[in-house]
Amino acid sequence: MAATIVWFRQDLRLQDNPALAAAITNGGPVLPIYILDGAGAGDWPPGGASQWWLHHSLATLDATLRERGSRLLLAKGESGAVLRALVKEAGARAIYWNRRYEPAVMGRDQDLKAGLVAAGVEAKSFNASLLFEPHTVQNKSGGPFQVFTPFWRHCLALPVDAPVKLPAGELPAPAKWPASLALEKLALLPRSKWDTGLAAAWTPGEAAAMKRLKKFIARAMADYSEKRNRPDIDGTSALSPHLHFGEIGPRQIWAAVAAVSQASGVFPAHRGAQVFLSEVGWREFAYHLLYHFPATPAAPLRREFAAFPWQENPQHLRAWQKGLTGYPIVDAGMRQLWATGWMHNRVRMIVASFLVKHLRLAWQAGAAWFWDTLVDADLANNTLGWQWSAGCGADAAPYFRIFNPLLQGAKFDANGDYVRRWVPELARMPVQFIHQPWAAPPDVLAGAGVALGGNYPHPIVDHGEARAAALAALQTIRVARS
């Protein structure tokens, strides 16, 4: 029987993979392939941290496939050309893949599907990455939602499909495998050794994703609503990179939470489970917005913000990137990001607010830095988060809501444990000064080994002055609209 090609992309798993399951149902050999396309997601090729994760995720996927009598083919180049060549070489009759929703990728996929069908090749795509595909969710007017609460309320009334189960046993393989690149030829790993922190913090792959989910549900989900804002403790699922690369799917998460809820007869079982699923809902909302407003990765959804008087200050941007702003909670977050490729969500909001409001640097600059340094860099989520922080997106925090880094630190890192871990210069500071070392008396600073302007910087801006300047800048676009 003719072979079916399964084109892996951001669905690097075997379970709940409808494209793979459908290919097996065809009955012939299955040829799994991953193609590193230089175009990436339009103008957003994967950043350095994402490339690191991708390398290890591909290695893990190949090992898992080999356990089932198969393997992962690797290629580099324009996806359409690679797939057409593989069809010819393998005599394949069909290509199956799971859908993506980045604007440039959707356009490419539509063109590719039309060309394959015209050439007599069966081309099918499936949903593996969302609970509710964007084109299936509409408000009462038949348009897209732009506020999360009614969006999620609408979604909760819809049925959620069960995860797709992969048949047991070996996967059907060809008698002769086509040629494949070695993983190292994709050149995804950094040449320098900046990735040691990533390797210490993460284990990419499908098995690790399921292990993390089970651990979270067993140990942390019940307290999630209370502890999710605490960066000093392990209170979140940290599943975001696994979700981005498709090592786990949202249907699997939904099913796991539902299984816990069966004992109580109530779904979700408790407040923690409800809030956790709502975070999955925010991911759905991000894709809903990206699908319906494809220009938002680069342009504000609220058009008046196109005229916002952003500043250009390379020194301030660099200080923010390096975690040298003089505000401990901000610096801790930025250093955690650089070291591990991840940052706690509460701290992401704090550092983003600081960039766009205290420094008045354009949110696009922050989005670009996150894109390069996050292992979970996801175009939909990254865009939603930054436009929310800048006050220029759907359901965004109003621009005049300006986080005070001192108060945020005191509230969510009360003992300073998070700051002490990531800003070791301040490790010996007393609790009352850990989030405001500039307020400490000279003898306290000396006793803690802190030299402001020496081993730790003075604040690069004054909070009060920066807040006033941000509000004045906001007023300029309000006046322009009136």
Q: Which of 26, 127, 229, 345 is catalytic?
A: 345
Q: Please confirm, yes or no, whether 170 is among the known catalytic residues.
A: no
Q: Which of 26, 229, 310, 438 is catalytic?
A: 310
CA distance linking residue 167 with residue 269, whole number of Å: 30
Q: Which of 44, 386, 388, 422 is catalytic?
A: 386
Q: Which of 122, 282, 313, 438 is catalytic?
A: 282
CB 1 within 8 A of CB 27: yes
Residue with the two structure tokens 């075997």: 14
Q: Please confirm, yes or no, whether 177 is among the known catalytic residues.
A: no
Task: Provide the H-helix boundaries in 203-358.
Answer: 206-219, 224-227, 240-244, 250-261, 271-292, 314-322, 328-340, 345-353
Nearest to 360 by CA among 299, 321, 402, 393: 402
What's phi and psi for 5, nearest 5 deg?
-85, 130
CA distance linking residue 371 with residue 375, whole number of Å: 8
Q: Please confirm, yes or no, whether 310 is among the known catalytic residues.
A: yes
CB 67: neighbour CB atoms within 10 A? 11
Sheet strands (E) in 9-80: 30-36, 73-76
What's phi and psi for 473, nearest 5 deg?
-65, -40
120: left (phi over 0), alpha (psi -120 to 50) or beta: left
Exposed, middle or buried: residue 59 (CB in 10 Å: 0-12, 13-18, 19+)? middle
Nearest to 30 by CA among 167, 184, 181: 167
What's phi and psi for 337, nearest 5 deg?
-60, -50
Q: What are the Cα distances from residue 221, in Å, to 102, 255, 260, 373?
A: 31, 14, 10, 27
Q: Please confirm, yes or no, whether 53 is among the known catalytic residues.
A: no
- If you write DSSP's letter for every residue of 211-256 in order, what string do you get? HHHHHHHHHTGGGHHHHTT-TTS--S---HHHHHTTSS-HHHHHHH
Q: Please confirm, yes or no, whether 133 is among the known catalytic residues.
A: no
CA torsion 208→209→210→213, rounded to 10°?
120
Q: Which of 7, 97, 338, 363 is catalytic?
A: 363
Q: Please confirm, yes or no, whether 152 is among the known catalytic residues.
A: no
CA distance linking residue 97 with residue 347, whole number of Å: 36
CB 398 within 8 A of CB 405: no
The DSSP secondary-structure symbol of 199 reads: H
Q: Which of 279, 313, 404, 438 is catalytic?
A: 279
Point out the residues that are catalytic.
279, 282, 310, 345, 363, 386
